[in-house]
Amino acid sequence: MKLIALVLLLAAPAAAFLPDLLEKLWPEQQGGVFDGVARIPYLDLLNDNSYIDPFLLQSMKVFGYFYVVDVPEYSAAVEQDYMKNFYDLDEDVKDELAIRRHNPANKNAYRGYCPGLDDVENTLQYKNLYNIGPHEARAASFESDDILQKLRYDCQEPNVWPETGNCTFDKGFKETFQAGFEIRRNIGRAFIRSIARAMEYPNLPALFAEDEFSAMGLRKYPIRRKINSNMYSDFDGTLLRELEHIDSTVTVLSTFNNGGLEVLYKNQYRAVPVTGENSFIVNIGKLVDDLIDNKVPSVRHRVAEVDFDRYSITYFLGPQFDADISRSMTNKLTDAGEKYTIFGEWIKDYLGAIELFYY
């Protein structure tokens, strides 16, 4: 990858700074299969520094993902500690925040706590999820016979936050994950701008101007007491905690120091280096892949079984409600376009199938 980087940069004005720049983008070369994955500094990405574009694009084309690093005033350890403390709360405290499928007294169908079920007979993927969105308040009640307009309103659910009686914890939890949501949203939008520049698709960012459906999930995969025979991979027989899949939109992922994530690379699943204390993994899903003419792969990935409680955070950035997803940037019919015109139509069926990112 450094050889490719050298070729990309030789004619650039920054060529005099090649050694520093290469070390900045690829600081550790240890002979691993994913050593060539680009590590893009957060501020360079957010500030639309165009030097990053070819490296980001090349990393996506070759590996299907890249890292965002050096995020100011961000601590993965603080996030994970708050997650552990939240999931250690009494069940009756967490139940106050549970979505209405689990607590009919609550109004939210999407934003809030979704407890997992350790039942090998009826449940494939045992995990707990706390879902956070972009809205802290919602408009007054809305009545309409238009299904899409009702969905637009319904999906703007306000977040719910713990009220444990411990003001220090409650305040810290809310502020930490509000800030974490904003960091991840910034990364997702800046990635779209970068890929638009690299591919010369100037109209792409307009599809993501709003993010009514973006979601951040605080995930805990508890140790499973029994093996579910349906969780063995059809691909290679590996026992899994998260089934093999590709995403749909833009994903910004934190694995902290928890292993288990694997991506399909050269027809073999390989372990992905963890994000650690100050980085994020970014990849795209099928819907976004189609919008950019399938020039960047939507990488297939999974989580292998581990013998510890595993924590991670996923953030998904999708197009805005009215975004036209029926045609790619070069006006080719997308797979979604066979049935849908706008993202709002697509999300209606998508949410009905998976209950807003609970996969």
Phi/psi of residue 174, nearest 5 degrees = -65, -50
Rounded to the nearest 10 degrees, the angle between the axes of helix 167-199 and helix 53-63 is 90
Please state which of the ranges 122-131, 140-149, 250-259, 273-282 shows the lowest mean pLDDT: 140-149
pLDDT category, 339, cuts 50, 70, 90?
very high
Q: Is residue 27's pLDDT more than 80? A: no
Cα 359 from Cα 357, distance rounded (Å): 6
Mean pLDDT, all residues of the chain: 89
Taking only the tens place, the pLDDT of each residue in 106-157 is: 889 889 999 887 665 656 678 899 999 999 998 777 677 788 888 788 778 9
Give CA torsion, residues 121, 127, 133, 137, to 10 deg: 70
Tally Cβ neighbours within 10 Å of residue 290: 21
Contact status, residue 55 vs residue 12, Cβ threshold 8 Å: no
User: For residue 6, what pLDDT is reported?
Assistant: 47
Q: 62 falls in which pLDDT band (50, 70, 90)?
A: very high
Amino acid identity of residue 317, one-letter, is L
With beta carbons less than 8 A apart as the criterion, state whether 247 and 283 touch.
yes
Could you tell me which of 14, 106, 103, 5 has the C-alpha nearest to residue 57?
Answer: 5
Report whether pLDDT(11) > 60: no
Rounded Cα gap, residues 5 and 20, in angstroms: 12
Take residue 235 and report the two structure tokens written for it: 């691909």
Q: How confident is the model at residue 17 (pLDDT cuts 50, 70, 90)?
A: very low
Four-point Cα dihedral 126, 211, 287, 303, nearest 10? -20
The first and second tokens of residue 308, run together, are: 């510890």
Distance CA 262, CA 34 (A): 11
Question: pLDDT digit string (tens) for 184-195?
Answer: 999 999 999 999
